Amino acid sequence: MAKSWSPDSWRGFPIKQQPQWPDEAELDRALKQIHSYPPLVFAGEARSLQAGLGQVAAGNAFLLQAGDCAESFEEFSADNIREKLRVILQMAIVLTYSMGVPVMKVGRLAGQFAKPRSADFEKIGDEEIPSFRGHIVNAAGATAAARVPSPERLVQAYHQSSATLNLVRAFTKGGFAALDRVHAWNQEFVASSPAGERYEQLANEIDRALRFMRATGMDTESNSNLSTVDIFTSHEALLLSYEEALTRKDSTTGGWYDCSAHMLWIGERTRELDGAHVEFLRGVGNPIGCKVGPTASADEVLELCEAINPARIPGRLTLISRMGAGKVEDGLRPLLRAVRDAGHPVVWACDPMHGNTFTSAGGRKTRDFESIISEIEGFVRAHRAENTWPGGIHVELTGDDVTECVGGGDELRDADLDTRYETVCDPRLNGRQSIELAFRTADLIRN
């Protein structure tokens, strides 16, 4: 791999999963426009996330990375963002309270639009039409016209990310996330589930603790740890021309940062060592994630660590394993061992979603809640056996009352999937399933 790097050096490497834009001049105009816009995040924020992830790598904190598989241009509203934040805050409280360590909260939001696809085309009746690649590229409708990539969508994605991030900052800094509102995050449809009831009890205990602190004279009102939270943003850095347009030189350190989000990750389909995605991301200062599927070898993973984090900065690299429930324990152990023995200070996170997707009898793409839990169990067992820290979870969820994953406390079945199947891409946990998952995860790691 060439030693020198620039924001466009990836252009000299083989690249996968890019749309066939119909009009290069139009694409160029959109990218120039985005390049002229302000950054969405600041380098200093990315560094503070990296410091927190360094604590995760050391076994002193936990990572909760969660949000949509793909954000939608159509489901874009304050309500939608607020419900997602609520469930992330609830899960983080459950994990923090039960495990007794700080939880770094990273949303798959404010930029999680572009989707890699297993096939470039999809068969609809007798016709082959281009696959849907996320609203940042084309529309989801099942017609050839809907699937034509439009560069205007890149600009729209920037604006939607900006508005989403603005609201996230307002909610997390403006009172909504204050710990004395811990009860208010429990939505009606979540509160009425067994996990929601367990959450209420935990919220009561937190209330009692806060009352105790006030009674001792502690100032809980102006303590920013109790009145605000940090939620960082992340997405898969798939469309490299978009990411390049938002890559800026930090005036403090002189280093390059991809200012489209705090953390960027490389997907399972684009993690080739000599590919454009690894080349681009190795050069930006943000904390970087990389998905690791069941075919990854220990050597490959070590080479990734060397390529992305040669300086061995704790928290710089998060390896997100997504093996499938049946493969994770045996598949992960050699990788944990190799990375541990090489002394790379990585965060290990578990994506229990992407290795457990199947098509239901009714033709819906779905995931079974018990397989998701079972992958987390295998992940924790593998870490126990290798004496490494199961540092976090990476999940697809929504705060809403959708029916996309089967199982969970409500025992959703195949036949229920049609009721409210709303995702634009992969099936997400609903609010109830998400809180249940947080409790089950905390129980697994604590025991």
Q: Which residues are annotated as a binding site?
A: 69, 108, 268-269, 291, 322, 354, 396, 426
x/- contact string, 13-52, with ligand PEP (CB under 6 A)? ----------------------------------------
Q: CB-wise, 94 or 292, nearer to Mn ion?
A: 292
> Scanning residues 337 to 366, which ones bind ligand PEP (CB under 6 A)?
354
- Binding residues for phosphoenolpyruvate, by number, are 108, 268-269, 291, 322
Distance CA 366, CA 396 (A): 12
Q: How far is the CB of 236 from ligand PEP (least distance, A)?
A: 6
47, 147, 322, 428: which one contacts ligand PEP (CB under 6 A)?
322
Label the pairing between strands 247-249 and 256-258.
antiparallel
Applying CB under 6 A, does 147 fall inside the site for ligand PEP?
Answer: no
Residue 438 C-alpha from the chain's centroid? 15
Q: Provide the minimum distance between the beta carbon of 18 and ligand PEP in the complex, in angstroms, as a whole number.
A: 15
| Beta carbon of residue 250, minimum distance to ligand PEP (angstroms, whole number) | 27
Interacting residues toward Mn ion by CB under 5 A: 69, 426
Judged by CB under 6 A, does residue 116 bind ligand PEP? yes
Find the part of the chain contacting ligand PEP (CB under 6 A) among 11-19, 34-42, 265-273, 310-318: 265-273
| Residue 22 beta carbon to ligand PEP: minimum distance, rounded to whole angstroms | 24
**Residue 283 binding result from Mn ion, ligand PEP, none, given CB thresholds of 5 to 8 Å by partner type:** none
Beta carbon nearer to Mn ion, 191 or 424: 424
Q: Measured at CB, which residue is nearest to ligand PEP?
A: 267
CB neighbours of residue 122 within 10 Å: 14
Binding to ligand PEP in span 197-236, by CB under 6 A: 236
State the nearest-atom distance from the C-beta of 32 to ligand PEP, in Å. Answer: 29
The minimum distance between CB 55 and ligand PEP, in angstroms, equals 24
Which of the choices Mn ion, ligand PEP, none does residue 377 contact, using the CB cut-off of 5 to 8 A by kind?
Answer: none
- Please give the span between the terminal C-alpha atoms of the chain, in angstroms, as a whole number: 44
Query: By CB under 6 A, is residue 69 in contact with ligand PEP?
Result: yes
> Does position 268 bind ligand PEP by CB under 6 A?
yes
For ligand PEP, which stretch binds (CB under 6 A), given 93-101, 127-135, 191-199, 263-271? 263-271
Cβ closer to ligand PEP: 268 or 329? Answer: 268
The item of ligand PEP, Mn ion, none sharing an interface with residue 147, based on CB under 5 to 8 Å by kind, is: none
Are 153 and 136 in contact by the 8 Å Cβ rule? The answer is yes
Task: Tell me the site size for ligand PEP, rule CB under 6 A.
Answer: 10
Give the 3-state DSSP-derived string for the chain, with helices as H, strands as E and coil as C.
CCCCCCCCHHHHCCCCCCCCCCCHHHHHHHHHHHHHCCCCCCHHHHHHHHHHHHHHHCCCCEEEEEECCCCCCCCCCHHHHHHHHHHHHHHHHHHHHHHCCCEEEEEEECCCCCCCCCCCEEEECCEEEECCCCCCCCCCCCCCCCCCCCCHHHHHHHHHHHHHHHHHHHHHHCCCCCHHHCCCCCCHHHHCCHHHHHHHHHHHHHHHHHHHHHHCCCCCCCCHHHHCCCEEEEEECCCHHHHHHCEEECCCCCCEEECCCCEEEECHHHCCCCCHHHHHHHCCCCCEEEEECCCCCHHHHHHHHHHHCCCCCCCCEEEEECCCCCCHHHHHHHHHHHHHHHCCCCEEEECCCCCCEEECCCCCEEEEHHHHHHHHHHHHHHHHHHCCCCCEEEEEECCCCCCCCEECCCCECHHHCCCCCCCCCCCCECHHHHHHHHHHHHHHHHC
Least distance to Mn ion, CB of residue 406, Å? 17
**287: partner contacted, choices ligand PEP, Mn ion, none (Cβ within 5-8 A by kind):** none
CB nearer ligand PEP, residue 52 or residue 427: 427
- The residues binding ligand PEP (CB under 6 A) are 69, 116, 236, 267-269, 291, 322, 354, 426
